[in-house]
Amino acid sequence: MRIVVHGQQAFGKSVLEALLERGEDVIAVYCAPEKEGQRVDPLKEAALAHHLPVYQPKSYRNKDVQAEFAALNADLCVMAYVTLIVPEDVLHAPTHGTIQYHPSLLPKHRGPSSINWPIIQGDTKTGLTIFWPDKGLDTGPILLTKEVEIQDTDTLGSLYFNHLFPMGVEAMLEAVDMVRDGTAPKIVQDESQATYESWCRKEDVQIDWNKPVQEVWNLIRGSDPQPGAWSPLNGQEVYLYDAKKHVGDTGGSPGQVTAVDANSFTVAAQGGAIEVIRVRPEGGRKVAAEEFISHIDLQPGAQFGA
């Protein structure tokens, strides 16, 4: 099959390289245009290294862009991490259409931050979906799904890089084989089970230390490393990473620093506490808690929160 890879960043690069490694006929690569001063996309670098034509349109609504895509006479478009809206005329241009990766078990957690929200909401299971995109947002028929358990120690980073990323690459290859063999289903999504969340942004992840410690823990790990759960301390925003949960009475009121050790500090919540190993002060870079403690002379009794 003549395949177009459409994506960006490390995931797009890995999907492209996996397809090429097993001898697929990749005829072109589409990726997002770089902004001024931005480094070259890893997918673009990989495509150029393999002497593949690269296209970077700013919009797919342009008729010339659509005609250019159609002229490739592709059999399948593989979308690996795409953020631009792609109209159905483009999606349906290849002989077999387009398949897309989404890191949740659709129809749950449609939207752009679909790895953050299951952790923040306390889900114990998530996964990935390869689906046939349509004019809606993550609403097209499902080709295949893969499940993964969310461990209580998982963060956004660990869940993606240890599970959903490598599983996603393999699932893309499996889906391509199914399309080629004519065995790829188109299972209509159950709208009664659908959920949608928008971007997980800074305003969504301010910590309320009065919440139960499990909710605070879910918020911190579900936004580590991005956008980073945060809390005010002495009028400055402090972002918390590489944390640990402790359950039980810590002897402090919510938001109070109950312990300061050589490499960490501990903050009380309802029914437990959070031990913090790494932080990012407002306007600064990520540093070890040890450096942060020393810099501001953090002491037990200091108060996080409004």
CATH number, domain containing residue 207: 3.10.25.10
> 10-54, pLDDT tens digit by residue?
999 999 999 999 999 999 999 999 888 889 999 999 999 999 999
The reply to whether 186 and 245 lie within a common domain is no
Residue 19, domain member (yes or no): yes
SS3 246: strand
| 5 pLDDT higher than 90 | yes
Q: Pick the last residue of a domain from 130, 164, 193.
A: 193
The reply to whether 229 and 182 lie within a common domain is no
Closest Cα partner for 10 from 57, 80, 71, 77? 80
Look up the domain containing 227 and give its range.
203-296
Q: Across the chain, which distance is largest between two alpha carbons, in Å?
A: 69
Q: Lay out the sheet containing 76-80: strands in order across.
A: 54-55, 25-31, 2-7, 76-80, 98-102, 125-131, 142-149
Residue 302, domain member (yes or no): no
* Average pLDDT estimate for 233-259: 95
The confidence score (pLDDT) of residue 111 equals: 96
The confidence score (pLDDT) of residue 85 equals: 87
The reply to whether 207 and 142 lie within a common domain is no
The reply to whether 154 and 36 lie within a common domain is yes
The reply to whether 55 and 18 lie within a common domain is yes
Q: Pick the last residue of a domain from 175, 193, 211.
A: 193
The confidence score (pLDDT) of residue 34 equals: 87
The reply to whether 116 and 22 lie within a common domain is yes
The reply to whether 172 and 75 lie within a common domain is yes
Share of the chain above pLDDT 70, in %: 100
The reply to whether 273 and 229 lie within a common domain is yes
The reply to whether 27 and 129 lie within a common domain is yes
> 128-166, pLDDT tens digit by residue?
999 999 999 999 999 999 999 999 999 999 999 999 999
Count structural domains, the chain.
2
The reply to whether 189 and 222 lie within a common domain is no
| 306 pLDDT higher than 80 | no
All residues at 6 or more sequence positions from 125 whose CB lies less than 8 Å from its CB, including other chains:
105, 118, 147, 148, 149, 150
pTM greater than the 0.85 cutoff: yes
The reply to whether 238 and 107 lie within a common domain is no
CATH at residue 165 = 3.40.50.170
The reply to whether 72 and 98 lie within a common domain is yes
* Average pLDDT estimate for 249-261: 93
